[in-house]
Amino acid sequence: MPTRTPLDTTAPRGTSQLEVAAELLALLRDTATEPRPDIQLEALTLAVAADLPVLLWGEPGIGKTAALTQLAETLDLPLTTVIASVHEPSDFSGLPIVGDDPATDGVPMAPPEWAVRLVRAGRGLLFLDELSTAPPAVQAALLRLVLERRVGALQLPPGIRIVAAANPRASAADGWELSPPMANRFVHLQWVHDHDVVVRGLGGTWPRATLPVLDPTRLAEAVAFARRAVCGLLTTRPKLVHLLPTSETRRGGAWPSPRSWDMTVSLIAFATAAGSSREVLSLLVRGTVGDGPGLELLAALDRMDLPDPEDLLADPTRAILPERGDLRQAVLDGVVEAVRKRPDKPRWDAAWAILVRALDTGAPDLVVVPATTLASLRDQDWEVPASIERLAGAVSLSRRADRAAARTAVAARAGR
């Protein structure tokens, strides 16, 4: 059997193997960065800027801690990490210290060392890691820290921002669901990895996120827009003001309450002032009041940008209709509804002109229902405008297509 030659591990004279290893580690850590938009990090930054506690949900090793480290460096904030699951409740509520005269002065609650450091610095990013593995008693002690920014008898300064991270219960060691009072104090962001970012980063180039910039000229407008959006939805959907989920798992996430709606107003205002995309706004809204109420609010925000039906009826020749099909359908339905509420011949004719414009600039099937409804509003003395002939063709073609599709579906079911 041939003898195996050992590897040559000799190093230059005077150089230890640990020094060589350190050089190799330095080469591995020598990576470049490149600017790259990141909607997750943008949403996180906006929530931090709004001074709202944020909770990052993600599987172990997904990069939550790395994101917080990058955010702290970019914002030039010192990062303080506290592993919630290895602390006692007294580490957050304070340790009782007996003074000279407890009967007169009481027993003060001394804060831990990390809280004292934060207060001395006056600013920083407090990272509460492994929150879902903290037992219920520790979560209860954390309530005051998250809501009131108090640790024992110590008040954290306004320059401190709080971000937490948690693993889903299925992947957390001895994990607990968050209590509803704790969960309702956070903006919940789902943290997932980007395959392309990971592959490129392992190749030596990691992303450098471009953080949002608030436009000082849009602050008042942003606040008014946010308040109008949330109040408008809750006026028509009063049950959404406070809706505690029935399942334990959903109670440990985002759900609507007066507190979380107040947070939502702040987040919409910040996203509007920063000119953030709808994707970023969706992460923030759904992470604060939950998916169902959040999607309703996003739909309401879309409708807020729609043109007023009365403005369109006043001058149909200058009508500008949305490109998106669902928004265009909402505008056309609104125009027909406005005519139904106050019907007269000029408004009826103007509505037909708007439908013709919609037919010329978009999908014909979107005018079928509005045209059918508008035709039913005709007074017997009103003359039929010539434009109806063009719309009649579109309506007839759409109905024939619907009947053909129905026949095809019936035939397919019969052939089974």
List, as one string, the DSSP characters of 174-202.
Answer: T--PPPHHHHTTSEEEE----HHHHHHHH
Structural domains counted in the chain? 3
The token pair that represents 328 in the structure block:
């265009």
Q: Does 103 reside within a domain?
A: no
- For 198, the domain range is 33-97+109-209
Contact 183, 254 (CB under 8 A): yes
Q: Is residue 203 part of a domain?
A: yes
Same-domain status, 189 and 324: no
* Confidence at residue 43, expressed as pLDDT on a 0 to 100 scale: 94
C-beta atoms surrounding 262 within 10 Å: 12
281 part of a folded domain: yes
C-alpha closest to that of 321 among 346, 349, 354: 354
For residue 109, the surrounding DSSP H or E stretch is: strand 109-110
Token output for 13: 């004279």
Are 262 and 353 in a shared domain?
no
Cα dist from 73 to 56, 76, 120, 184, 357, whole Å: 18, 5, 19, 28, 53
Per-residue confidence (pLDDT) for residue 402, from 0 to 100:
43
| Strand, coil or helix: 255 | coil
Statement to judge: residues 297 and 313 lie in one domain: no
The answer to the question of residue 14 being in a domain is no
Is 247 a member of any domain? yes
* Domain shared by 67 and 116, yes or no: yes
Determine, yes or no, domain membership for 342: yes
Among 269, 304, 339, which residue terminates a domain? 304
Domain assignment of residue 196, yes or no: yes
Do residues 167 and 66 share a domain? yes
CB-based contacts of 152: which residues, under 8 Å, 6+ apart? Answer: 92, 93, 94, 95, 108, 109, 110, 111, 112, 115
Of the candidates 209, 235, 254, which is a domain's last residue?
A: 209
User: How many Å separate Cα 111 from the centre of its chain?
Assistant: 34
Write out the DSSP string of 191-242.
----HHHHHHHHTTEEEEE------GGGHHHHHHHHHHHHHHHHHH-GGGSS
- What 3-state class would DSSP assign to 105? helix
pLDDT of residue 86: 84
- pLDDT of res. 393: 60
pLDDT value of position 140: 86
Q: Is 377 in the same domain as 248?
A: no
> Structure tokens of 265?
């107003």
Whether 258 and 341 share a structural domain: no
CATH number of the domain that 187 lies in? 3.40.50.300
The pairing of beta strand 205-209 with beta strand 32-36: parallel
Check whether residue 313 and residue 300 sit in a common domain. no
Residue 381 lies in a domain: yes
Low-confidence ranges of the chain (pLDDT < 50): 1-2, 4-7, 397-402, 404-405
The verdict on 69 and 185 lying in the same domain is: yes
Q: Which residues pair with 95 in a beta bridge?
A: 110
Same-domain status, 233 and 345: no
The answer to whether residues 228 and 82 belong to one domain is no
pLDDT at 26: 92
Alpha helices in 50-135 (DSSP H): 64-75, 90-93, 102-105, 113-121
> What is the Cα–Cα distance from 408 to 69, expressed in whole angstroms?
58
Residues 204 and 233 in one domain: no
Query: What gap in Å lies between CA 286 and CA 271, rounded to an integer?
Result: 14
Of 251, 280, 304, which one is at a domain's C-terminal end? 304
pLDDT at 1: 47
Closest CA relative to residue 357, chosen from 331, 384, 396: 331
